[in-house]
Structure 1
Amino acid sequence: MQRVHFLKDSFLSLDAFHKQIVIGTAVAAGVVLYIQRRRCHKVQTVPLGEGWWGAGERQQSEDDKIYYFEVQTSDDEIKDLHERLDKTRYTHPLEDCAFQYGINLTYLKSVASYWRHEFDWKKQVAMLNKYPHFKTKIEGIDVHFIHVRPTQTKQKVVPLMLVHGWPGSFFEFYKILPLLTETNIDIAFEVICPSIPGYGFSEAPHQQGFDSLAAARIFLKLMERLGFLQFYLQGGDWGSLITTNMAQMKPQCVKGLHLNMFMMRRGFKVLLSLLVGPYLPFLVGLSREDVRRLFPFFEKNVWTILRESGYLHIQATKPDTMGCGVNDSPVGLAACILEKFSTWTNLENIYLVDGGLERKFSLDDLLTNIMIYWTTGSIVSSMRFYKENLKGNLDNRVDSRTRIFVPTGLAAFPGELMHCPKSWAQIRFHNIVSYTFMPRGGHFAAFEEPQLLASDLIQFVRKVEL
């Protein structure tokens, strides 16, 4: 009995000791973080650099004119698509399987049937041309963008660039555009929405090395060519990194940066939060909602990233190999893209036979995005963007070591692949004007929840402007 009491007291002592270690570590970390913040008051910038992405040797002069562009199609293009859809060779699906192995093949057949017999591409092309499209040559390649001016003239007009990611396109923003440009509130936006080079109607780079820094520089040149000296930026996925790079390169031009995807991968503060957060979240700046979204960390974040990042490893290493197949088969392309729109909207969609796709999107909208990739043959060049950005350790790049000081608005959607608390975001973003826990929505915020994203963007801009 005496030995039992001794063991019990030992365990209690260890538990108290553990708590003391946790609290002591938290206090020490607070002192370190305070000193670091005191030292990091100076604004840093990322060098603009220069580049040439055209075919062959660099030209001495470049046509800087802006040309009107119209999305077009033809009967031959549609006939070729239909013939390929008719000749698709399918694999038999597993019994009682939804999206756990990827896209459900029975559902994929139904999508292909709709695509072949009901989807009207000519109608969708007319819809795409609802907004004015343009092209201009920058650093040797044609850059496509839409430019939408506000319908009202009495409000304060604010220039705004929206940047998409993969496997999305400029079309992701078609639902949010009216909410930003056809509004009766005190602020309206003049929106520029480009296609990342290698995506859709923007020409693919012909040289190796085109990464987010190159895209950021090209988009800064585009805004300058359009006559905008100061403007706002909004992005998710690759668009988040590109717009962040723009703010790092020319902070004097960026009045505000709004993101719906943001991550902090490493650092002492992050590690400390993971150790202390489940027990004493207030000591490391975590809210109850942060704790709910983060923990258990390995189950909700690490395992999810491992399960959902197989595509990334392929595209970051051998994109051309996988790209050959999906560039040649429309159904293969649809399978690749639709699976991402399912899972990245809601991770629980893997348990649904239809992947939950039509809960948030119409088939017409999903197929229109796919058709932008199909008709331009741009899926391979879009995949290469992963290779170019992940050739080396992303943490060693200059932009990863450069803080952001422009006013920043962060919209944390619950369906995003990994949650980033405000306390983590503050490590990089030193002027967070607004941080919002969004009530619903996932990775494709503008496409899924245009009203929520528009409202958060507008309240952020108001705070900056006032």
Structure 2
Amino acid sequence: MAASGIAFAGQAGEGGAPAGQASSQSAPSSEAIRPFKVHVSDKALKELKARLQATRWPDKETVSDASQGVQLAKLQQLVKYWETGYDWHRLEARLNALPQFVTTIDGVDVQFIHVRSRHPNAMPLILTHGWPGSPLEFIDAIGPLTGPTAYGGKAEDAFDVVIPAIPGHGFSSLPKELGWGPDRVARAWDVLMHRVGYDHYVAQGGDHGSVISDAMARQKPQGLLGIHLNMPATVPPELVKGIHAGDEPPANLPDAERTAYQTLSKFFARNAAYGAMMVTRPQTLGYGLNDSPAGLAAFMYEKITEWTYPSGNAEAVLGRDRILDDISLYWLTGTASSSSRFYWENNNNNFSSAAQRTTEITVPVAITVFPGEIYRAPKSWAQRAYPSMYYFKEVDRGGHFAAWEQPQLFAEEMRSAFRSLRK
């Protein structure tokens, strides 16, 4: 075991942890915060390359676009680079240069990054990722958030940032029992923020992070000053059935609402099968994704490239290495099944205001709409869904992975959105 208290095992024997899965050999105090370093064994990395080299490819798609899924030539290029050109140790070194920790909450080890600003009175901010993202989404935003004076901001705009991995994702441990859905994670995040020393804080999230932030706001723990969402649950309950059925939108919808309705209707008709599989059969799905890195890459790359703005251009926006950082994290931690189970545990419509019970929220809510989001939430829907909304802005760049794609713009939005809540 490394001196940090957390090490990475190599390839486990039958029934053991997957290659690269974090393991602890001690029984620390339940509230201890232990330093954390990443180290993936050479054996795990060699096995990954061998599996990539041995990929059994399907036949070529019969269309000239990506309407049947990731195109064969495109994925072969990505996988070849993963095998021969990608360097995991580059990411490992970057992560290990950050203050990383792990603590046990409700029986699960939660790994997190915690960077304090050098500026006094910085606002504590917890950032929650989603799928197929990870805490890596926020790495490039740490500088602008914690050191705003170097990025066009003011010292009084500074944040302390806490970036945890949802249990079952990344370097957090895998839940061994039912119940680790958004509400339980939300309670754990409040424990985490108080445990690291904050009596007040704000929360931000997109994708799963939006659902978890909504849950935190409903729970209204002492010290939560407000939340910011970049994938708000705003769809009015009377429209949900029609959207899922592919019905024509009601004739009286204003233009922005009609566009949102049609975008979501198309999403559920043609692009949501991945979610249906994760909601209904995460274990079955995991057998394939946990065994084939090329299969995992195809499953994740499709959504990464589809949801990055402009759609289909993820490698130009994020770069091939950063995309493979994220995919490698899922592979090396063996979290294909456990991350899918979060969908099974949630089993809800993440876009529906009724499903997420947004009208129960009374803490201040801020929303930024990025143009490449799965759907652009209309302000009229947002105001109805979140009665305590005090900030709403539509920006001109970025997609579903807002902080990953546009870290500077994301940080600027955090400064603007939370400025009035600073103590």
Letter aligned with residue 146 of structure 1: I
Aligned: 1:157 with 2:129: no
Aligned with 1:308 (options 271, 290, 297): 271
How far apart, CA to CA, are the structure 2 residues paired with 1:296 and 1:407? 27
TM superposition shift of 1:240: 0.5
Structure 2 equivalent of residue 259 of structure 1: 229
2:125 alignment partner, SS class: strand
TM superposition shift of 1:105: 1.2
Aligned with 1:426 (options 378, 383, 391): 383
How far apart, CA to CA, are the structure 2 residues paired with 1:427 and 1:421? 10
Structure 1 equivalent of residue 408 of structure 2: 451
Superposed counterparts of 1:24-39, under 5 Å: none
Structure 2 equivalent of residue 183 of structure 1: 148
1:147 alignment partner, SS class: strand
Letter aligned with residue 161 of structure 2: V
1:443 alignment partner, SS class: coil
| TM-score normalised by structure 1 residue count | 0.77
2:171 alignment partner, SS class: coil
Structure 2 equivalent of residue 379 of structure 1: 336
Judged with a 3 Å threshold, the aligned counterparts in structure 2 of structure 1 residues 301 and 294 are, in CA distance, closer, same or farther, namely farther
In the alignment, is the contact (CA less than 8 A) between 1:258 and 1:409 conserved in 2? Answer: yes
TM superposition shift of 1:62: 6.2
How far apart, CA to CA, are the structure 1 residues paired with 2:354 and 2:177? 20
How far apart, CA to CA, are the structure 2 residues paired with 1:109 and 1:407? 46
Superposed counterparts of 1:74-93, under 5 Å: 74-93=41-60
Aligned: 1:167 with 2:137: no
In the alignment, is the contact (CA less than 8 A) between 1:251 and 1:406 conserved in 2? Answer: no
Superposed counterparts of 1:297-446, under 5 Å: 299-346=262-309, 349=311, 355-390=312-347, 400=357, 403-446=360-403
Q: What are structure 2's unaligned runs of at least 5 residues?
A: 1-27, 243-248
How far apart, CA to CA, are the structure 1 residues paired with 2:139 and 2:345? 28
The 4+ residue runs of structure 1 with deviation greater than 4 A are 268-271, 391-399
Instruction: Answer 1 or 2: which has greater helix percent.
Output: 1
In the alignment, is the contact (CA less than 8 A) between 2:60 and 2:71 conserved in 1? Answer: yes
Output one character per residue of 1:187-216: Cα deviation in whole Å (capped at 9) or x when no partner: 211100000000011111101222100111
Structure 2 equivalent of residue 241 of structure 1: 211
TM superposition shift of 1:391: 7.3
Output one character per residue of 1:325-371: Cα deviation in whole Å (capped at 9) or x when no partner: 0111111111111111011124x74xxxxx32212111111111111
Structure 2 equivalent of residue 120 of structure 1: 87
Structure 2 equivalent of residue 44 of structure 1: none
TM superposition shift of 1:137: 0.7
TM superposition shift of 1:427: 2.5
Structure 1 equivalent of residue 23 of structure 2: none
* Structure 1 range deviating more: 186-195 or 402-411: 402-411
Letter aligned with residue 162 of structure 1: L
In the alignment, is the contact (CA less than 8 A) between 1:294 and 1:301 conserved in 2? Answer: no
Judged with a 3 Å threshold, the aligned counterparts in structure 2 of structure 1 residues 65 and 251 are, in CA distance, closer, same or farther, namely closer
Judged with a 3 Å threshold, the aligned counterparts in structure 2 of structure 1 residues 296 and 194 are, in CA distance, closer, same or farther, namely closer
TM superposition shift of 1:398: 8.8
1:426 alignment partner, SS class: helix
Structure 2 equivalent of residue 287 of structure 1: none
TM superposition shift of 1:148: 0.5
How far apart, CA to CA, are the structure 1 residues paired with 2:276 and 2:266? 15
Judged with a 3 Å threshold, the aligned counterparts in structure 2 of structure 1 residues 253 and 276 are, in CA distance, closer, same or farther, namely farther
How far apart, CA to CA, are the structure 1 residues paired with 2:88 and 2:332? 11
Structure 1 equivalent of residue 11 of structure 2: none
* Structure 1 range deviating more: 357-366 or 90-99: 90-99
Judged with a 3 Å threshold, the aligned counterparts in structure 2 of structure 1 residues 398 and 294 are, in CA distance, closer, same or farther, namely closer
How far apart, CA to CA, are the structure 2 residues paired with 1:335 and 1:393? 23
Superposed counterparts of 1:85-104, under 5 Å: 85-94=52-61, 97-104=64-71
Larger radius of gyration: 1
In the alignment, is the contact (CA less than 8 A) between 1:411 and 1:437 conserved in 2? Answer: yes
Judged with a 3 Å threshold, the aligned counterparts in structure 2 of structure 1 residues 145 and 94 are, in CA distance, closer, same or farther, namely same
Judged with a 3 Å threshold, the aligned counterparts in structure 2 of structure 1 residues 460 and 299 are, in CA distance, closer, same or farther, namely closer
Output one character per residue of 1:397-432: Cα deviation in whole Å (capped at 9) or x when no partner: 996275212122100112111222222122332222
Output one character per residue of 1:55-110: Cα deviation in whole Å (capped at 9) or x when no partner: xxxxxx96210100101122211111111111001112225523211111111111
Structure 1 equivalent of residue 7 of structure 2: none
1:427 alignment partner, SS class: helix
Aligned with 1:196 (options 142, 163, 166): 166
Judged with a 3 Å threshold, the aligned counterparts in structure 2 of structure 1 residues 158 and 297 are, in CA distance, closer, same or farther, namely closer
Letter aligned with residue 38 of structure 2: V
Structure 2 equivalent of residue 6 of structure 1: none
Identity over aligned pairs, percent: 38
* Structure 1 range deviating more: 372-381 or 93-102: 93-102
How far apart, CA to CA, are the structure 2 residues paired with 1:190 and 1:322? 37
How far apart, CA to CA, are the structure 2 residues paired with 1:328 and 1:307? 26
Letter aligned with residue 68 of structure 1: P
Aligned length: 384
